[in-house]
Amino acid sequence: MATMKIAVAAVAGTPAAAVGTRSAAATETARLCASSAQGLGLSTFVGLRAGSNASRGVTPRVRPLKAENSSVRAASSVETVEKTDVAVVEKSVNTIRFLAIDAVEKANSGHPGLPMGCAPMGHILYDEVMKYNPKNPYWFNRDRFVLSAGHGCMLQYALLHLAGYDSVTTEDLKQFRQWGSKTPGHPENFETPGVEVTTGPLGMGIANAVGLALAESNLAARFNKPDAKIVDHYTYCILGDGCNMEGISNEAASLAGHWGLGKLICLYDDNHISIDGDTDIAFTESVDRRFDALGWHTIWVQNGNDDYDAIRAAIEEAKSVTDKPTMIKVTTTIGYGSPNKANSYAVHGAALGTKEVDATRQNLKWDHEPFFVPEEVKSHWSKHIDLGSKLESDWEAALEAYSKSYPEEAAEFKQLISLELPAGWDTSLPAFTPEDAGDATRNLSQRCLNALARTLPGLIGGSADLASSNMTLMKMFGDYQKSTPGERNVRFGVREQAMGAICNGILLHRSGLIPYCATFFIFTDYLRSAMRISALSEAGVIYVMTHDSIGLGEDGPTHQPIEHLASFRAMPQMLMFRPADGNETSGAYKVAVQNRTRPSTLALSRQKLPNLAGTSIDNVALGGYKLSCNSTDNKPDLIILATGSELEIAAKAADIIRGEGKTVRVVSFVCWELYEEQSAEYKESVLPKAVTARVSIEAGSTFGWERYVGLKGKSIGIDRFGASAPAGTLYKEFGFTVENLLAKAKEVMGA
């Protein structure tokens, strides 16, 4: 048994007492994980390529941080710890490393560098720190983990495998990055139970983690009681240099600091290498001091390669800081263990190659076949099956007790986490007749949100500093803030990209929360990456996008969407709505809420629109439907297709043409994706093939409309950038008028 001094770095100014103390939660975890008390790992690692200290003794090379570049100072606290079972921890860590090495090698594709460097922190998180039940990856009260540096997914797959998740068997590891496998090239929640969110685009995972932590804090504030903490978990995130360079991570971190998300604990894999080489070529800021400025608690683990106790102590310290999120900078060596490729970009994103794998095996004394897991490692990790089961059953018992003491709250809570919508949730949506006063669809949207807020306890959301323009406040609720985390209006500030990713995190918390978020439609350009991940990761976020066309007027072309409708119609699994009036806005919300695994984008007008005859809430689900038609034989002389604010123009033009003795059908194309899902018969009933005289009108790009108007039809749209002028002027100048529609209609009818 070795007795060692270990150094724990803490931020200058942190009370020394805080370091090494254990919070109640940490103590509980320690109790539950009693069998996992592990020793101080001392690597026998030798032979690092550049600047290695290995030849000088047991301390592996750790890149020294520049003094001027960090506010974090080492070792404000030193504790003496006695530890045992070092050998098992080391074996487990090397198992993780080699599972990653072997899987990448077999696939001849992937990223071995991060798993090799992060295996120690990964081991500690999954074996010693996190609460989860491997046999029920969706157990509500589990700790959440996000690998923001998603390319390192073999780390997570190896951990899920060791922890006993059925989703990642040895066979799955061998199928890494292959067609149909559960182990794709980046972590995908929809493929692999145990993976919480889909990552890969850098910086987005930490924003997801902020969303997960927000969800926990909101539900904890709403449902926990002094004697019953039924919502109580941490969110952990491993992120890399790339994540920290991305603007989205700064946006999310600024919000996390503002919100004081004390149960968010991030581990920054500070390995100083990115694809282009040493991060010094582009990244010399002080990350520590930046996070400090953002209101985070910061800790530096100087040797993340094998100072296990320093990692443990840092996580404990992070837990003890309850009013701030914590960023633990863990300095590691990318590709740790590879004699010739460690600490270089060569190990970041490519297989090591047979020769270097052999050298690494020799270096780390790993004399095993590929994909080998030593018996003592298996045996060590096997406890998590029972442990997880007990964690869940203890929580179930606590929830039952809670249900007796607080039946009303328990009912709402259970309803939420059932992921079912409450009965009658949609009855609150307003319906309209043409006699009702017209309004902008952004205002109608606000009526819907406020109606739904009464019937959907899961509704939570807000705007990127445009609440009064997007009309997104739920008037009966206050702001979600550090001091009022149970409220449901979220103030995202001017941070669109993080807003979207945070909403993905809120939704993928899988607790029945229904996040919506809002900005001007044009600024989907800022959060498009997050919206795409909503679509890919089956996250039914509701995107409330107002000021949907040149109809916004004077703000001009920097603010006027043109190609945006087309760009989202082309995106898989995204429902793109452009409602025309009150009924269609309610209908869009109805479908959006029903679709919990598919995101919806609502493009809403700034300007007032009339309630039209022929719209209905339920028809929106058809995507495209007959608003009006005076032909009796499904052979009208003309079909006019329109969406949103131009449906009014279509209706007016149709009336005039009908007055001239023609038969005209007006079709509202409120959601193309839903229309595409209808039967061929239905589509023929709406757009009969025989009728080729078709005109579309929409205040956006004509791109894509050929699908419905065909080569003989015409599309009125705008295929250039807009201009700064009053909306009425723009509509006239750009041809969105009844007169122009009549002219085009006559052209296609050959009249």
Q: How far is the CB of 290 from its own copies (least distance, A)?
A: 4
Q: How far is the CB of 306 from its own copies (least distance, A)?
A: 28
Q: Which of residues 466-485 bind its own copies (CB under 8 A)?
A: 466-469, 479, 481
Was 202 annotated as part of a binding site?
A: yes
- For residues 280 and 278, what is the distance between their CA atoms, to the nearest angstrom? 5
Residue 5 in the binding site for its own copies (CB under 8 A): no
Residue 496 known to be catalytic: yes
Handedness of CA 605, 610, 613, 616 (dihedral sign): positive
Nearer to its own copies, 454 or 635 (CB): 635
- For residues 8 and 310, what is the distance between their CA atoms, to the nearest angstrom? 5
Asked whether the beta carbons of 214 and 174 are under 8 A apart, the reply is no
Which of these, 735, 182, 113, 218, lies nearest to 484 by C-alpha position?
A: 218
Handedness of CA 343, 346, 351, 354 (dihedral sign): negative
Was 462 annotated as part of a binding site?
A: no
Q: Which of residues 593-622 bind its own copies (CB under 8 A)?
A: none
Which of these, 652, 587, 626, 641, lies nearest to 432 by C-alpha position?
A: 587
Contact segment (CB under 8 A) with its own copies among 269-277, 619-627, 640-648, 735-743 equals: 269-277
Q: Which of residues 272-291 bind its own copies (CB under 8 A)?
A: 274-276, 279, 281-290
Asked whether the beta carbons of 235 and 264 are under 8 A apart, the reply is yes
Which of these, 192, 179, 176, lies nearest to 99 by C-alpha position?
A: 176
- For residues 129 and 265, what is the distance between their CA atoms, to the nearest angstrom? 12
Q: In the stretch 236-265, what mask flags binding to its own copies with x, by CB under 8 A?
A: -----xxx-xxxxxxx--xx-xx-------
Residue of the chain from 59, 77, 389, 729 that contacts its own copies (CB under 8 A): 729
Paired with 228 in beta bridges are 225
Q: How far is the CB of 573 from its own copies (least distance, A)?
A: 7
Helix (H) / strand (E) containing 8: strand 2-11
Was 547 annotated as part of a binding site?
A: yes
Nearer to its own copies, 71 or 597 (CB): 71
3-state SS string for 459-528: EEEEECCCHHHHCCCCCCCCEEECCECCCCEEECCCCHHHHHHHHHHHHHCCCCCEEEEEEEHHHHHHHH
Residue of the chain from 95, 133, 181, 696 that contacts its own copies (CB under 8 A): 181
Q: Which of residues 511-570 bind its own copies (CB under 8 A)?
A: 522-523, 525-526, 528-529, 532-533, 535-536, 553-559, 562-563, 566-567, 569-570
Q: How far is the CB of 522 from its own copies (least distance, A)?
A: 8
Residue of the chain from 172, 269, 292, 426 that contacts its own copies (CB under 8 A): 292
Nearer to its own copies, 112 or 242 (CB): 242
Q: How far is the CB of 619 from its own copies (least distance, A)?
A: 24
Name the one residue in this structure whose structure tokens are 């919506």. Answer: 516
Catalytic residue among 105, 251, 317, 496: 496
Contact segment (CB under 8 A) with its own copies among 137-145, 154-162, 181-189, 370-378 equals: 181-189
Q: Which of residues 89-118 bind its own copies (CB under 8 A)?
A: 107, 109-110
The letter for the amino acid at 724 is: S
Q: How far is the CB of 397 from its own copies (least distance, A)?
A: 39
Was 73 annotated as part of a binding site?
A: no
Which residues lie below 8 Å from residue 695, measured CB to CB, with a gap of 6+? 638, 639, 640, 641, 709, 713, 714, 715, 716, 741, 744, 745, 748
Residue 487 in the binding site for its own copies (CB under 8 A): no
Measure the CA angle with vertex 273, ends 356 and 205; round to 5°.
Answer: 110
Nearer to its own copies, 211 or 295 (CB): 295
Residue of the chain from 52, 136, 178, 597 that contacts its own copies (CB under 8 A): 178
Q: In the stretch 651-690, what mask flags binding to its own copies with x, by CB under 8 A?
A: --------------------------------------x-
Nearer to its own copies, 298 or 511 (CB): 298
Nearer to its own copies, 111 or 233 (CB): 111
Residue of the chain from 3, 17, 57, 179 that contacts its own copies (CB under 8 A): 179
Q: How far is the CB of 486 from its own copies (least distance, A)?
A: 16
Q: How many residues bind its own copies (CB under 8 A)?
A: 114
Was 434 annotated as part of a binding site?
A: no
Q: What secondary structure does DSSP assign to 9-73, as a single string?
A: EEETTS-GGGTT---HHHHHHHHHTGGG------------SSS--GGGSS----PPPPGGG-SEE
What DSSP character marks residue 376?
A: H
Residue 73 in the binding site for its own copies (CB under 8 A): no
Residue 200 in the binding site for its own copies (CB under 8 A): yes
Was 466 annotated as part of a binding site?
A: no
What DSSP character marks residue 183?
A: S
Nearer to its own copies, 33 or 562 (CB): 562
Asked whether the beta carbons of 113 and 348 are under 8 A apart, the reply is yes
Q: In the stretch 33-72, what mask flags binding to its own copies with x, by CB under 8 A?
A: --------------------------------------x-
Which of these, 237, 175, 211, 252, lies nearest to 495 by C-alpha position?
A: 252
The letter for the amino acid at 194 is: G
Residue 571 in the binding site for its own copies (CB under 8 A): yes
Strands (E), 523-637: 542-546, 575-577, 600-604, 608-609, 625-629
Q: In the stretch 400-439, what mask flags binding to its own copies with x, by CB under 8 A?
A: ----------------------------------------
Longest CA–CA span in the chain (Å) reads 98
Q: Residue 236, SS3?
A: strand
Was 223 annotated as part of a binding site?
A: no
What DSSP character marks residue 297?
A: E
- For residues 75 and 12, what is the distance between their CA atoms, to the nearest angstrom? 9
The residues annotated as belonging to the active site are 496
Residues in the annotated binding site for substrate: 111, 348, 442, 469, 547, 555, 559, 606
Q: Which residues are annotated as a binding site for Mg(2+)?
A: 241, 271, 273
Q: Which residues make up each annotated binding site?
A: 111, 151, 200-202, 241-242, 271, 273, 348, 442, 469, 523, 547, 555, 559, 606
Q: List binding-site positions for thiamine diphosphate.
A: 151, 200-202, 242, 271, 348, 523
